[in-house]
Structure formats: C-alpha cells, structure tokens
Amino acid sequence: MAINAAKAVIKQGKTALFICDVQEKFAKAIYEFDKIVQNSTKLINALKLLNVPMLVSEQNPNSLGKTIPEFDISGAKGPFAKTQFSMCTPEISKELETICSGEKPDSIILIGIETHVCVENTAIDLRQSGYEVHTVADCCSSRTQEDRLLALERMRDIGCHITTSENVLFKVLRDANHEQFKNVLALIKTPTLYTGLVSISKV
C-alpha cells in the first residue's frame, strides 16, 4: 500500500492548534493531569513563538470551569463554550475557515481532554472535513489510561497522526536555521514528562 508522506507534514502558516476543554474542574479527575498540563504549556508557548493560530473550547464552563490559568491563550480564538462532544461547532468551524491569514489550514494540531470523548469526536469531525489531524498523545488524557490509549488507537485507525509535543515542534520548525529555532529549543530543553504512553518491557 502506497504511503503519502506529504500528509504527515506540518507547515507553518497552514496549521492551527485546537485546545480542547482543559478546564479547572478536570484537574483532580484526569490521569496524569499535571504532566499533561506541563507538556501542553511547553507546546503552546512554542507554537505561539511560531505564530501558529489557536482555537480554544470549553465544555459547559458553567459547570466545569474555565480553561486552566497555566495556559497562555492570549491571542487565541475563544474560548468557545460548547455542550456537544466535538470542537467542530458552527462557531469554531466558521473561525477555522479564515484562521490562517484569511485561509483555512491544511493541518490541525489537537490537544486536550478527554481523549476518548471530546478529543476523539473532534478528530472524527475534522477528518470528515478533510483536515490532516496531528493528535499530540503526551498532551491528551482521560480519566483512565485504558480510555486514553484505546482512543488514540481509534484515532490512528481513522487516519490521524498520533504524535508527541516535541515531534510536532520540530516538524513546524523544519530547519535549524529557522529564526525561532533557538527560542523554541530553550523550551524543548525542559524534558517532556512521561505519561505512560509506552510500556517498557523488562528483559
């Protein structure tokens, strides 16, 4: 079967970041929440340096609270309140049409919670609309590890690229001569925290 490697490319200027429902009331319920927050914060800050536009959603914020203060979402579109289990609301979909300098992106970088609910439903809608979706596994979680890992498998099955925060950043940079390389590298030097994605077998 032929593999279209071009679909795995993330182009600066043709990519947007979706931040899905990382809200205050989830803090005590989500598996490895603090690590997900630290990894996501590094990714968000680096993508801001690279001028990647961002869209933020909040699931029923009257009950679940606002987006956590650790995230610098200044300049982002939103937060958009929603009740459906997908970020692809009419309001967000309209913003997406022109978010990249008046055009819609080719690719979406997707992070947030819960992986098996709002993240996965967002990924499904985005894929159905023709977007390449890069689900950042170390920036997504659920209440249980089982739900999280199985959701990542299902997203891979529908054509999402299951990736990590550091992989995404190097794909956007593409070249060590990028004007923001040193600034992004300073953020990358903070180790990405292990969130249980890969089992280490004992020999």
Q: CA nearest 87: which of 154, 135, 36? A: 135
Asked, as a colleague might, if the bond just before 114 is cis with ω within 30 of 0, I would say yes
- What count of Cα atoms within 13 Å lies in the side-chain half-sphere of residue 142? 17
Look up 182 and say whether it is catalytic: no
What is the residue whose two structure tokens read 């903070």?
190
Catalytic residue (choose from 20, 42, 82, 100): 82
Residue 162 contacts residue 156 (beta carbons within 8 Å):
yes
Return the bridge partners of 109, or none: 17, 134
Q: Is residue 21 flagged as an active site residue? A: yes
Alpha-carbon distance of 4 to 10, in angstroms, equals: 14
Q: Among 20, 88, 100, 118, which one carries the catalytic annotation?
A: 118
Supply the DSSP symbol for 173.
Answer: H
Q: Annotated catalytic, 171?
A: no
The catalytic residue among 21, 106, 125, 138 is: 21
Per DSSP, the three-state class of 30 is coil
Catalytic positions are 21, 82, 118
